[in-house]
Amino acid sequence: MSLPVKAHPDTIASSRTLVVGGTSGIGAAVVSATLANGGSVHISSSNPDKITAKIAEFKALYPSAPAVTGTAANLSDENTLEANVKNVLEEAVRSLDGPIDHLVYTAGDAFHPTPLSSVDPKTYFSGWTVRYLAPLLFAKTISTNPGTYLTISPSSSITLTSGVLSHKPIRGVSHFIGWAGAIEALSRGLAVDMAPVRCNVVSPGAIYTEMLAGMGEAAVEGFGKGTLRGSVGSAAECAEGYLFAMRSGFLTGEVVKVDGGALFA
């Protein structure tokens, strides 16, 4: 039996995506890639000025994009977290004129590596609020309001972010990387709990973003040497991992590693 070849489906065109962390780095590259493929995007981060500036940049880059809008929300305060998460979802649905098809979560606050000896049991988990607790509450709010914020379908997806350091640690990060391992476990749980909506994680290697650039040139060069290709990745290269997770209706509960072969270097 020979099955007919079909035109490849363009699943991003006409889709609605919320990118939390879409004002810089990996998230901004996911926004750019989604707009380039004809999707509408709502972006969120803590800084309203950055959102306004990025929206203007995206509109200039993609004048015929169906929509690019945004909502500011600081996701680092546990006291306001649940209300902020709900507000971002409400605004995304309102601005994009319907429930989103994809949630991409790349938000992460400043990373200040400290020695293991400085771990403080009272403050340790504060670093998990933006990277772990916030995406968990997005999933909770979406699943307790079925179909309101995210379309229930295997073509819908949630894509979270971990990092290569949880698979291949370097000296001095052991106390910090727990959230990344936990996000991968959470994603597998959500893939089961939220089916048929799919849930995956992208595990970036060293990607040249505002965050990595802030560590200085020597650090960037050092991270590049820790890959098979000899240089750090670009945000656009990393964004392809998120697009894969959004597009493939048969991918769920998986970790997409976009790390330049760092695990084998």
Ligand X SMILES: NC(=O)c1ccc[n+]([C@@H]2O[C@H](COP(=O)([O-])OP(=O)(O)OC[C@H]3O[C@@H](n4cnc5c(N)ncnc54)[C@H](OP(=O)(O)O)[C@@H]3O)[C@@H](O)[C@H]2O)c1
Least distance to ligand X, CB of residue 219, Å: 10
Q: Other CB atoms closer than 10 Å to residue 188's CB: what's the count?
A: 16
In whole angstroms, how large is the CA radius of gyration of the chain?
Answer: 18
- Rounded Cα distance, 256 and 249, in Å: 14
Name which of 11 and 18 has its Cβ closer to ligand X. Answer: 18
Q: Which is nearer to ligand X, 102 or 131 (CB)?
A: 131
Shortest separation between residue 127's beta carbon and ligand X, angstroms: 10
Q: Which is nearer to ligand X, 99 or 127 (CB)?
A: 127
Q: Which two tokens stand for residue 75?
A: 């996701």
Counts of helices then strands in the chain (DSSP H, E):
9, 9
Which of 89, 207 has the CB closer to ligand X? Answer: 207
DSSP annotation string for 20-82: ETTTSHHHHHHHHHHHHTT-EEEEEES-HHHHHHHHHHHHHH-TT-S-EEEEE--TT-TTTHH
Listed in sequence order, the residues at least 6 apart from 208 whose beta carbon sits closer than 8 Å to its beta carbon are: 220, 232, 233, 234, 235
Contact positions toward ligand X, by CB under 6 A?
Answer: 21, 23-27, 45-47, 50, 74-76, 106-109, 130-131, 161, 163-164, 204, 206-207, 209-212
If the CB atoms of residues 47 and 153 are measured against ligand X, the closer one turns out to be 47
| Shortest reach from residue 203's CB to ligand X, in Å | 7
CB of 109 to ligand X, least distance (A): 4
Q: Rounded to the nearest whole angstrom, what is the least distance from the CB of residue 83 to ligand X in the complex?
A: 13
CA–CA distance, 256 with 160 (Å, rounded to integer): 10
Q: Which is nearer to ligand X, 28 or 142 (CB)?
A: 28
We find the least distance from the C-beta atom of residue 201 to ligand X, in angstroms, to be: 11
Q: How far is CA 143 from CA 81, 86, 153, 187, 190, in A?
A: 17, 12, 13, 14, 10
